[in-house]
Structure 1
Amino acid sequence: MEIVELGKGRPLKALAGDLEARRILSSARLFTLYARLKGGDARLKAGYYQFDDGMRPSQILAKMISGEVYQRVFALPEGYSSYQVAEMLEKRGIFPKENFLAACRDAALLKELGIDAASVEGYLFPGSYNILPGKTELEVVREMVQRQQAFLKESVDGRARAKGVPVQQLLILASMVEKEAVLPAEKPLIAAVFQNRLRLGMRLQSDPTALYGVRAFAGKVRREDILKPTPYNTYLIPALPPGPIGNPGKDAIEAVLNPAAVSYLYFVGRGDGSHQFSNDLSSHNQAVQKYLKAPAAAVQGGS
């Protein structure tokens, strides 16, 4: 199996020679003659194509005339951190994990994109990408960030400024909402909890922040996790983390811009994806005891 690029304006003869060299065709000359007899040489569509040595010349020609180009689609899920994205890309055989993470932290790229942070975390747009052969990690990161920046400029920046919310703060909160919420309908409620706690000077005490950069968040944290000192652990730091803990989608960003009009300060998972929300610590601890069935686990956290 071979991936071959048919560049715009590339002569058919040169392409046929490439296919012969890769043993996809037995004769470049005969294929060129065949394509011209069929009138296909003027109808070939540029792009990357996947061929194998079992294909007949007619199949090869038909594929390039129809534009059946090779696609290596990668979907970046909402909320995934750059670490999770890097692991997915490595498992798919697209990029080595460390190379992608290095691109996310590349100082020159951050300056080019106007990101005043240590990495592009929070600025990778969740969605589908066609990662063609030859694309570098830096090019893919640039594309992901530019798509996020285009969305922010078109739909978010003006409203965020009107509310007095810096974009970086917006993305930090949205990334936390994305990690905590399972049900889309609860995102505005969780956003409200975090913003209510910030107004009161309370620690956010969000489980996913205790695990960022340490291990993947799977919905549960241990006591040693919340006691582990990291710059992102909101059980220990008195404010927002220094940066996003993932790459939020549109719904989480909207939830931060338009939180629910509630006075909740706490929430705990019910075990089915939903959360029990509370206004005071006593009610929250009762909910923890009910849903986690572990009185000793009751904490003053948001989750």
Structure 2
Amino acid sequence: MRKTFRLPLAFALLALTLVAAAAAFVALVPISLPREQIEFTLPPGSSLRAAAREIAASEVGIEPWVLIALARLMGVDASIKAGSYQISRGTTPLELLHKLTRGDFTQAELAFIEGWTFRQMRQRLDAHPDLRHETSALSEGEIMRLLGAPELAAEGAFFPDTYLFAKRSSDLELLARAHRAMQRHLQQQWQARADRLPLGDAYQALILASIVEKETGRDQDRSQVAAVLVNRLRLGMPLQTDPTVIYGLGDGFDGDLRKRDLLADTPYNTYTRRGLPPTPIAMPGLASLQAALHPAASDALYFVARGDGSSQFSRTLAEHDQAVRRYQKGGRP
């Protein structure tokens, strides 16, 4: 009886050993690829079976059942992550499976630049070949609603930075990251703001920072520009900044700001209206946020561009007029 019992057990152990050896062989033999590198994308929500079929359809020389069996054998069949992947010749099924479970994506990048408007952002977003374009047909209001901020204008709501993302990611997901980043930076700077600023809330700080961004040609001038704007707000003087007027003109601006433009009243014309415009006019960077909330200690009320990227700051209108004559011959007082 004992010999009869031991014989099936020995066969079972031998069978298990052979299965394990076969699995190890399959897992460690490099996958056949027709080119040096192959890229493929697994859509969100892909099951293990769907992922295996997608990989095989991308000319990766591995049978779907092999990947499925290996994933189940290793207990990672529910751990496959969606995204874009790249594998090279010499990659084994085991290494491929590790990539899929770690989310070792191939990444693309997109830079949003300080001073860009939301319109410029969308143009760059819509033109990026590695994004899944889900917002192209949406209005600004619809985008902000999907981001959970329907009360906010899209202008200025996104933080300028270089963003890395897995290829075939949603453009809405990228916008959500940039929006969260702006909210985080804005709240941090608002909490650390200087005392007695003439700003009612963090959103007004964002608007002010966007004007500082557009008015500054040199980093060293940011806090001085902010000081002029803050001083004018304190005194109830019109801000009289050209970038806000240009923003209000929209497509009507032809690149040449004329006197009639300064007289054309819009919600963004800070020559005809006192206080801040209703929304930001661009994406401010962190330096402009910091400058708006920590302006320089200055009593200047005017500034004019010197023509080299820097500005000349003045305390009185007479000083300002003199600076205009000096640096902008034929310029507007």
TM-score (norm 2): 0.70
Residues 1-303 of structure 1 aligned to structure 2 (within 5 Å): 3-5=40-42, 10-11=47-48, 14-21=50-57, 23-26=58-61, 28-29=63-64, 32=67, 46-51=81-86, 56=89, 58=91, 62=95, 65=98, 68-93=104-129, 94=131, 99=136, 102-103=139-140, 106=143, 108-109=145-146, 112-113=148-149, 116-117=151-152, 119-132=153-166, 133-137=168-172, 139-157=173-191, 159=193, 163=197, 165=199, 166-212=201-247, 214=250, 221-292=257-328, 294-295=329-330, 297-299=331-333
**Equivalent position amino acid for 1:75 in 2:** A
Report the Cα distance in structure 2 between the residues aligned to 1:75 and 1:57, rounded to whole angstroms. Answer: 34
CA offset digits 1:95-130 (Å, max 9, x no partner): 7798377245546347x33x644x132221222333
* 1:177 Cα deviation after fit: 0.3
Report the Cα distance in structure 2 between the residues aligned to 1:225 and 1:16, rounded to whole angstroms. Answer: 61
**Equivalent position amino acid for 2:203 in 1:** Q
* 1:172 Cα deviation after fit: 1.0
Change (3 A) 1:7 1:233: closer
Q: Identical aligned pairs, as a percentage?
A: 33
Change (3 A) 1:164 1:223: closer
Report the Cα distance in structure 1 between the residues aligned to 2:223 and 2:254, rounded to whole angstroms. Answer: 21
**Equivalent position amino acid for 1:20 in 2:** A
Change (3 A) 1:31 1:215: farther
Q: Does the 8 Å CA contact 1:83/1:101 hold for their aligned counterparts?
A: no
Q: Does the 8 Å CA contact 1:86/1:100 hold for their aligned counterparts?
A: no
* 1:261 Cα deviation after fit: 1.2
Report the Cα distance in structure 2 between the residues aligned to 1:19 and 1:244, rounded to whole angstroms. Answer: 46
Change (3 A) 1:204 1:97: farther
Q: Does the 8 Å CA contact 2:67/2:93 hold for their aligned counterparts?
A: no
TM-score (norm 1): 0.76
Q: Does the 8 Å CA contact 1:227/1:235 hold for their aligned counterparts?
A: yes
CA offset digits 1:59-86 (Å, max 9, x no partner): 8875664564122222222232211211
Deviates more, 1:164-173 or 1:145-154: 145-154
Deviates more, 1:2-11 or 1:149-158: 2-11
**Equivalent position amino acid for 1:80 in 2:** W
**Equivalent position amino acid for 2:187 in 1:** K
Tell me, what secondary structure is at the counterpart of 2:304? strand
Q: Does the 8 Å CA contact 2:189/2:293 hold for their aligned counterparts?
A: no
Report the Cα distance in structure 2 between the residues aligned to 1:207 and 1:47, rounded to whole angstroms. Answer: 47
Report the Cα distance in structure 2 between the residues aligned to 1:109 and 1:29, rounded to whole angstroms. Answer: 37
Q: Does the 8 Å CA contact 1:265/1:280 hold for their aligned counterparts?
A: yes
* 1:16 Cα deviation after fit: 3.1
Q: Does the 8 Å CA contact 1:75/1:127 hold for their aligned counterparts?
A: yes
Tell me, what secondary structure is at the counterpart of 1:58? coil
Kindly name which structure, 1 or 2, has the bigger radius of gyration based on alpha carbons: 2
Report the Cα distance in structure 1 between the residues aligned to 2:90 and 2:47, rounded to whole angstroms. Answer: 18
* 1:180 Cα deviation after fit: 0.8
* 1:45 Cα deviation after fit: 7.1
Report the Cα distance in structure 1 between the residues aligned to 2:43 and 2:251, rounded to whole angstroms. Answer: 42
Report the Cα distance in structure 1 between the residues aligned to 2:145 and 2:64, rounded to whole angstroms. Answer: 47
Q: Does the 8 Å CA contact 1:194/1:204 hold for their aligned counterparts?
A: yes
Tell me, what secondary structure is at the counterpart of 1:233? coil
Tell me, what secondary structure is at the counterpart of 1:74? strand
Report the Cα distance in structure 1 between the residues aligned to 2:296 and 2:64, rounded to whole angstroms. Answer: 69
Report the Cα distance in structure 2 between the residues aligned to 1:162 and 1:3, rounded to whole angstroms. Answer: 56
- Which residues of structure 1 form unaligned runs of 5+? none
Change (3 A) 1:51 1:233: same
Q: Does the 8 Å CA contact 1:267/1:277 hold for their aligned counterparts?
A: yes
Q: Does the 8 Å CA contact 1:86/1:101 hold for their aligned counterparts?
A: no
Tell me, what secondary structure is at the counterpart of 1:156? helix
* 1:198 Cα deviation after fit: 1.8
**Equivalent position amino acid for 1:135 in 2:** S
**Equivalent position amino acid for 2:42 in 1:** E
- Which residues of structure 2 form unaligned runs of 5+? 1-37
CA offset digits 1:160-204 (Å, max 9, x no partner): 797563112111111100111122221110001111122222211
